[in-house]
């Protein structure tokens, strides 16, 4: 059964635990949009760097250079937060500032309460 009316996305809102209504007009990332490619690229760059450092650590350990293996292992641990750079950048630019709190219910239209 379908609804006899369509939903207007501009009139959808959430009510928080404190009773204040909020709207969220951010759109999800489109597949392979510029924003999504940036997020995947930053994650891939971090993955490449962390994987390269881990590989160098294993290679140094297998060759008997324990000091270099420790240095590369420590560099791997220090570089691992770079894996979060892409997702955090996406959240910071497109999710954080889009929610608006309203004093009353957000009505859209001519002000009569019916849209």
Higher pLDDT, residue 49 or 35: 49
Least confidently predicted of 32-36, 50-54, 98-102 = 98-102
Residues 6, 12, 16: CA angle, nearest 5 degrees? 150
At 115, the pLDDT band (50, 70, 90 cuts) reads very low
CB within 8 A of 40, min separation 6: which ones? Answer: 86
Length of the chain: 115
pTM for this structure? 0.54
* Span 38-73, pLDDT tens digits: 888 888 999 999 999 999 999 999 999 999 999 999
Terminal alpha carbon distance of the chain: 25
* Span 69-93, pLDDT tens digits: 999 999 999 999 888 888 887 777 7
Higher pLDDT, residue 74 or 36: 74
| pLDDT score, position 1 | 55
Measured between alpha carbons, how far is 102 from 23 in angstroms, rounded to an integer? Answer: 8
User: Whole-number mean pLDDT of the chain?
Assistant: 77
| DSSP bridge partners of 101 | 22
| pLDDT score, position 37 | 83
> Is the separation of the CB atoms in 26 and 98 below 8 Å?
yes
């Amino acid at each position: 059964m379908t609804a006899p009316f369509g939903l207007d996305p501009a009139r959808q809102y959430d009510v928080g635990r404190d009773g204040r209504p909020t709207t969220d007009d951010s759109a999800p990332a489109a597949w392979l949009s510029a924003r999504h490619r940036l997020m995947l690229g930053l994650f891939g760059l971090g993955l490449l760097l962390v994987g390269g450092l881990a590989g160098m650590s294993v290679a140094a350990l297998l060759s008997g250079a324990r000091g270099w293996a420790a240095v590369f292992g420590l560099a791997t641990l220090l570089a691992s937060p770079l894996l979060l750079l892409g997702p955090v950048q996406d959240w910071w630019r497109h999710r954080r500032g889009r929610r608006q709190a309203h004093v009353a219910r957000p009505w859209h239209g001519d002000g009569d309460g019916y849209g």
